[in-house]
Amino acid sequence: MQHLAAAQILNLTNEVLYLGRDASVEQRIASRLNIPFAGIRVGGLRGLGLLTQARNFSHSVAAARVAAQEIAKFKPNVVLATGGYVSAPVIWAAWRKKIPVVIDLPDLEPGWAIRATWRLSQQVAVSFDEVLRFFPRGRAAVTGYPVRAEFFQATRDAGRAHFQLDTGLPVVTVFGGSQGAHALNETVRANLETLARTTQILHVSGARDKTSLEGARARLETKLAARYHIFEYLDEDMPLALAAADVIVARAGAATLGEFPAVGVPSILAPGLFAQGHQSKNAEFLASRGAALVLAEEKLAGEFVTTLLNLLNDETRLCEMRAAVKKLAQPDAARRIGKLLQEVSV
C-alpha cells in the first residue's frame, strides 16, 4: 500500500488517520502497524447495472458524510488520497472542509475517480514522467511509486532461505493481487505437475481458489508437492517472496510498477481487462523497457508454460531483464511524497 509506505518512511504512524474500505486488506495492515483506521463503505459505478449503480452511489454519499465526520474529529493538516472510487468521497469531504489534498496516482493513466476529483486537490503525485500529460503544468509532480523499505532490502538469498527453498532449482513467484487472480490460479493448477518437475513455486493465490490448488498439490508425488508453496495472502513476507524469484508471474496492477523494480526481478504479466485497461498499460510500460513479458489472458492456457520455461532457460535474457527492471526502481519516492505533503499542509 503506497500511502502506508509514505507514512512509514516519515515515521508518522501516530499522526495519521487512515480512511479506507471497511473490512479490507488495508484495514488489517493498518491495524498491524497501529495506524488508526476508519472504515467507509463504497462501491464502483461504471459498467454496473442501474440498481447496483444506485446502491453504490448512495453508499458513496454516506461515505462522504462519514469521511467529513472523521476529518472534523481528527483535524488533519493534509489528506493523501490514492486509489479509485474509494478515494472520491474522502477527497470531496476534505475539499468541503478546506483541507488540502494531495492525490497519489500510481497508474500510468488516471481512472474515472481521479479524473473527476483531481481539480479538488493541490497537487497530484505521479510515478513517471509519462503521466504528466494528463494534468496542467504545475498541478502534478513526479515523485515515483512509493513502496516499503523492505522491498529494497530483500535479497534473493534471504528470500530462498526464509521459504526453505532448494538453491539448485529456479523459483517462480505467482501473485494475483490481494484477492488472487482466478485465470492465473487455474493456469498453475492445470500445469502444476509440469511446473513442479523443473521449478519451485511460491503461489499467493487469494482465498477463492486455495482449496482447489491444495487439492492439486495433494495429487502430486511427495517430491514434487514439496516444491509447491501456496499462501492465501502474504504481507510482511511478500518482499522476500518476490525477491526469491527468478521470474514473477502476475497481473499488472499499479504495485507492479513499484515493487518489482524494488526487488529487481523480471516478470511475465497477464494484465486484467478491468478498470479501463489500466493493467494493460502498466504491463506495456514494463515490457517496452525490457523489464517484463506480456501474455494476454486468453493465451495463458496455450502459451504460459512454454513462455515461462523458455525464459528460465535463457540466462542471458534474464540478466538483461534484471538490469532493465532495476533501472526503474525509485527508492526515494515515499520521501518525495512526504515532502510534498509537508509543502501543501495547513
- Does 309 share its domain with 284? yes
For residues 321 and 175, membership in a common domain is answered with: yes
Phi, psi (deg, nearest 5) at residue 179: -95, 0
What stretch of H or E contains 57?
helix 50-74
Contact 20, 86 (CB under 8 A): yes
How far out from the chain centre does Cα 122 lie?
Answer: 25
Are 184 and 319 part of one and the same domain? yes
Say whether pLDDT at 58 is over 90.
no
Q: What is the pLDDT of residues 202-222, one digit of tens each?
A: 999 999 999 999 999 999 999
Residues 228 and 278 in one domain: yes
**Into how many domains does the chain fold?**
2
pLDDT band at 180 (very low <50, low <70, confident <90, very high): low
What local confidence, expressed as pLDDT, does residue 54 receive? 63
Band the pLDDT of 94: cuts 50, 70, 90: very high
Domain CATH code at residue 31: 3.40.50.2000
**pLDDT at res. 33:** 85
Do residue 179 and residue 138 come from a single domain?
no
Do strands 123-126 and 140-142 pair parallel, antiparallel, or not at all (unpaired)? parallel
> What is the average pLDDT score of the chain?
90
Q: Across residues 94-103, what is the average pLDDT?
A: 96
Summarised one tens digit per residue, pLDDT across range 276-311 is 578 999 999 999 999 999 999 999 999 999 999 999
pLDDT tens sequence across 23-53: 888 888 888 888 999 999 876 555 555 666 5
Residue-wise pLDDT for 214-265, tens only, equals: 999 999 999 999 999 999 999 899 999 999 999 999 999 888 999 999 999 9
DSSP 276: G
Q: Provide the domain limits for residue 172.
A: 150-326
pLDDT of residue 122: 97
- Do residues 158 and 112 share a domain? no
102, 192: one domain: no
